[in-house]
Amino acid sequence: QVHLVESGGGVVQPGRSLRLSCAASGFTFASNAMHWVRQAPGKGLEWVAVISYDGSSKYYADSVKGRFTISRDNSKDTLYVQMNSLRVEDTALYYCATKGVSGFAWDYWGQGTQVTVSS
Amino acid sequence: QSALTQPASVSGSPGQPITISCTGTSSNVGGYDYVSWYQHHPGKAPKLIIYDVSKRPSGVSARFSGSKSGNTASLTISGLQAEDEADYYCCSYTSSRTWVFGGGTKLTVL
């Protein structure tokens, strides 16, 4: 059974950094592209970033490009996102997600980790 | 990376059908058959209900169906049930090798 568990969220001041992790199990992690998706309070879902199965390709939403870095450690079955220069508008519940039947949709999601950026 | 356009809310009575539209551009919805739909109940992880425009994952009710015409995709729920009340999001792959969601539609079952 696929299991994704996010961690690392918390309260941080604007301009500071935070690293989120997503521990995966129940599937061959090294074979799957992995994504981060977030939801700000009272707002809709927003796609954040994707990393290819081997880490060689990475793409970002314009809203986080240059500030966030997605990475993975296939030896630890873990996905990361390093979030720098955090802004109040980065406050959100952050989910990691991965494909099942389709390479362009996400069958499997974690429960999310909350990031709050506030002074 | 502008969000896809969805109606903010739709409503229907039990047993009735409803349709939610999702409008994008030729760089996303119109350019690829990679539109997906998610059902999201507050406090829970989003659930994939349609992928690749019209395919249903195993275990998803046949009451959910998807289609696309030009730059607009649609989700239809036939025979509304109380448990269908949730937020629904469309999502599309884009020409920039990124993904973009719609703003979300709140479905109310009257």
Mutation for testing the A interface, residue in B97, B99, B107 having most A CBs under 10 Å: B99
pLDDT-based confidence at A102, cuts 50/70/90? confident
- Decide: B77 and B64 in contact? Cβ < 8 Å: yes
Q: In the prediction, which pLDDT does A33 show?
A: 96
| Chain A residue numbers touching B100 (CB-CB < 8 A) | 47
Is residue A103's pLDDT more than 90?
Answer: no
Question: Which residues pair with residue B110 across a beta bridge?
Answer: none
| Chain B residue numbers touching A63 (CB-CB < 8 A) | 1
Is residue A57's pLDDT more than 80?
Answer: yes
Instruction: Please name the residues in contact with A31: beta carbons below 8 A apart, sequence gap of 6 or more.
Output: A53
The partner residue sitting opposite A104, judged by closest CB among B38, B93, B100, is B93
Q: How far is B34 from chain A (nearest CA, A)?
A: 6
- Decide: A16 and A36 in contact? Cβ < 8 Å: no
Q: In the prediction, which pLDDT does A72 show?
A: 98
Q: What is the pLDDT of residues B20-70, one digit of tens each?
A: 999 999 999 999 999 999 999 988 999 999 999 999 999 999 999 999 999
- The answer, for B59 touching chain A at a CB cutoff of 8 Å, is no
Is residue A73's pLDDT more than 80?
Answer: yes
- Decide: A8 and A86 in contact? Cβ < 8 Å: no
Q: How far is B28 from chain A (nearest CA, A)?
A: 12
